[in-house]
């Protein structure tokens, strides 16, 4: 009882899959390269003050950031079960989302085995210094 799917639909589904994989890798790399090395070492996250001057721009940026973050989290969950950088994609997605307790969750997530190593490996490949470990005094 499988639905009939045309060869053309399967072709375009494959194209979208390949483009989304490379797009997520490129997007995650772009985000990781621009992350400050001390991102996880602060006790609490300070808001971006420049956006407070233009309320419409602030709401637009927050809405767009949350949509992209939710897509990355969903895609990262898929990548956990398929080849790809699922944990890093989820981390970047969570970093883009806005919700109470987000920064504590980010700091907890980065201390999971292999996540900080993977993040620093990616930053080294991009010519950036390592991210500081939040557990270090």
Reply yes or no on whether the pLDDT at 17 is more than 90.
no
In whole angstroms, what is the distance from residue 59 CA to residue 134 CA? 30
| For residues 72-84, average pLDDT | 81
Q: What is the pLDDT confidence band of residue 95, given thresholds at 50, 70 and 90?
A: confident
Q: What is the pLDDT confidence band of residue 61, given thresholds at 50, 70 and 90?
A: confident
Whether the CA torsion 69, 70, 72, 77 is positive or negative: it is positive
pTM above 0.85, yes or no: no
């Amino acid at each position: 009882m499988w639905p009939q799917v045309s060869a053309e639909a399967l072709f375009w589904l494959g194209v979208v899959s390949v483009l989304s994989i490379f797009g997520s890798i490129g997007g995650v790399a772009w985000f990781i390269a621009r992350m400050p090395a001390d991102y996880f070492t602060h006790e609490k996250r300070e808001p971006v003050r420049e956006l407070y001057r233009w309320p419409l721009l602030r709401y637009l940026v927050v809405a767009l950031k949350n949509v992209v973050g939710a897509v990355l989290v969903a895609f990262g969950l898929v990548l956990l079960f398929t080849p790809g950088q699922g944990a890093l994609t989820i981390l970047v997605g969570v970093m883009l989302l806005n919700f109470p307790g987000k920064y504590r969750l980010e700091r907890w997530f980065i201390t999971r085995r292999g996540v900080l190593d993977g993040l620093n490996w990616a930053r080294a490949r991009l010519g950036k210094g390592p991210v500081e470990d939040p557990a270090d005094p």
